Structure 1
Amino acid sequence: MGKANQWDADWEISDELVGQLIDSQFPELGSKRIKRLGNGWDNTVYQIGDEYVFRFPRRTIAVDLIKMEGQLLPKLAEYVTIPYPKPLFYGKETAEYPVPFLGYHYVTGEFPLGVADEQRALSAAALGRFLKQLHSFPTQLARESGAPHDHRRLRDIATRKEKMEKFYSDLSPHMREEERRAMTAYLNQVVQPKALPQSDVFLHGDLHFKNMLVDERGRVSGIIDWGDMNVGHPAGDVSVAYSFLPPQARSAFFAAYGEVDETTKQLARMMAIYIPMLIWMQAIDDGDEKVAEEARATINRALAD
């Protein structure tokens, strides 16, 4: 039987198996506490002691992404202005767990669930500077290290709109009436532009609230899960200006990042709505009310002017 959802696992890993893999391949970590942090779409994440975090692929597609992270993340140190997890331990496949895995230093912080707009605004300039610097990373070096080209097909707005309309039909019963009106109005005005700028940059590629950490003041303290790194349209990352930041903070973001054309802003807003729709559907499937509510709030924020 095929998988019901695109986020369903191809294989799972247990606490016991993680302990065995760590003991056998990294005996210097064998005495440290093992704590399961949860699942993303692609990986199951464990904290080892207080210093390290390990990601174990749970979908076939994640295997090549883990390999790319191992090659590419160490090269970003001079380009990344917000803390991010650097690879330290390169795990090998075994008979019990047939794929490679990766261990990193632990980046402190919490997911930005329920963070107030005033707190979010504190990170506007920092996020703009972060992306300006990240997007200056040489695209040729990124490709040589395994980064694909535009694997999300960001410029294909017509196809993305079609998918969003299907997502909306699934999510509509969970929306409030004013949210349904806002989403309907938004989808009705989305059209494929005649042309999109062709300038490609190096991207994090998946910059949403489940891949961001904040400190006790709500300021961004870490950017995690770099498995979707690619070379593509900058709107893929600029979407954070609409998904994470409230409208009143976006001018500070663009002052730090640099101004972009209106079509890029439209595409960025679309991605800021599209990804949380998927996260919301998964959260409903998982029964995760906190993540579902944050996905709802993210969509509402992205729709706001």
Structure 2
Amino acid sequence: MQDRAGSGACATDELSSPPPAAGTVSRQYAVTVAGIPEAEVEVDLGLVARLLGAQHPDLLGRPMRIAANGWDNVMVRLGHDLAVRVPRRAAAAVLVEHEQRVLPRIAPLLPLAVPVPLRVGRPTAFYPWSWSVVPWLRGEVAASVLPSVRDAWAVPLAEALAALHVPADADAPANPVRGVPLAARGEAIRARMRAGSFARAGQLRAAFDPDAAAHAYAGPARWLHGDPHPLNMLCVDARLTALIDFGDVTAGDPATDLATGWLTFTPTGRGAFVDRYTTLTGANAATWRRARAWAAGMASAVLGASDDHPALAAVGRHAVEQILGDRSFV
């Protein structure tokens, strides 16, 4: 969750452009997001057919339908097992290229499904950006189930993130608001909390400050998902099955990803999440304090920009409740 001011670029703050509203649809991409920025290129079925015909003609003839018209991309379902991910804004095109470059490398690390591009599309005379053909991943958005149900996924998610958090390649995408030292984000986060644009903002800042003062990360830059909150997870039959939307993928402090402990779980699930990840990685108390600080920053961004997105607001309110009720690691 990076607040890209509605973009797909790694640009402003902690929250990604609002994902699909939970409960709207029980599929990965089948939703239209309210309040989306104006498209810089209108993407319709005719354009997608032209792109496929020019670069992947063997895929023409499959049934197509618009599955989502979101902040960053238009998703077109292609047959029963594929989707075409086509940026509608220049900012999003950069993130699609990040996914194309990185997901084939990191997907083998993960015990969960991820939308690794199966085909790559490049700019043409009639369309300016890269685009992808990805697998259609079946499932419900995890935010559509109760946090107490999500608690059952605490160990699998901890294992997935531990598997992902290995030293990254030197060419990992840069992201100025993910994986960086908290000192670089502190003033922006505090400014949102001072604004008082959401309930309990002052209390959240009081909780943020001591956690943000935890020892800075001094290890190697590790692969990060960048945005592993409940709107970027899929479940089938109450089982966690996939991580989606790797547009914020980067390298840095794993505490950024570990903020999901407060965004996703209740204290019961978070305890299992912390225990399993710590057992696998040796994460110390400072890591978890930084993770909680990142969670506070993400919650403040969500609650300041989710008036038209109830599911995103619910994630933010849940996170605030969890952070303010948790004084472990002190």
Within 5 Å, which residues of 2 pair with 1:1-305?
Answer: 5=5, 7=7, 8=37, 11-16=40-45, 17-27=47-57, 28-40=59-71, 42-136=72-166, 138-139=167-168, 142-143=169-170, 146-148=171-173, 151-152=176-177, 154-169=179-194, 172-175=196-199, 179-180=200-201, 182-187=203-208, 189-193=210-214, 195-217=216-238, 219-258=239-278, 259-284=282-307, 287-305=308-326
Q: State the secondary structure of the residue aligned to 2:177.
A: coil
Instruction: Call closer, same or farther: CA 1:149–1:35 in 2, change over 3 Å.
Output: closer
Query: How far does the alpha carbon of each residue in 1:76-132 deviate from its partner, in whole angstroms, 9 at most, with x for none?
Result: 343110111121121121233201101111111122224223211100110111111
TM-score by length of 1: 0.82
Contact 2:214 2:289 in 1 (8 A): no
Across the aligned residues of Structure 1 and Structure 2, the Cα RMSD in angstroms comes to 2.8
| TM-score in terms of structure 2 length | 0.76
Question: CA distance change for structure 1 residues 12 and 183 in 2, over 3 Å: closer, same or farther?
Answer: farther
In structure 1, what residue type is equivalent to 2:42? Answer: I
Write the letter of the residue equivalent to 2:232: N
The structure with more helix, counted as a fraction of residues: 1
Aligned length: 289
User: Which amino acid counterpart does residue 65 of structure 1 have in structure 2?
Assistant: L
Q: Deviations over 1:150-202 (max 9, x none)?
A: 643644323423212332355x4453xxx345324324545434543333212
Q: Partners of 1:229 and 1:159 in 2: how far apart?
A: 18
- Residue pair 2:192, 2:301 contacting (<8 A) in 1 also: yes
Distance 1:43-1:35 versus aligned 2 partners, 3 A rule:
closer
Counterpart code for 2:127: Y
Report the CA distance shift for 1:294/1:288 in structure 2 as closer, same or farther (over 3 A).
Answer: same
Structure 2 alignment gaps of length 5 or more: 8-36
Identity %: 27
SS of residue matched to 1:263: helix
Question: How far apart are the structure 2 equivalents of 1:257 and 1:188?
Answer: 24
* CA distance, structure 2, for counterparts of residue 26 and residue 103 of structure 1: 10
Residue 314 of structure 2 aligns to a residue in which SS? helix
Find the aligned partners of 2:173 and 2:230 in 1 and give their Cα distance. 23
Unaligned runs of 5+ in 1: none
| Aligned equivalents of 1:12, 1:283: Cα separation in 2 | 25
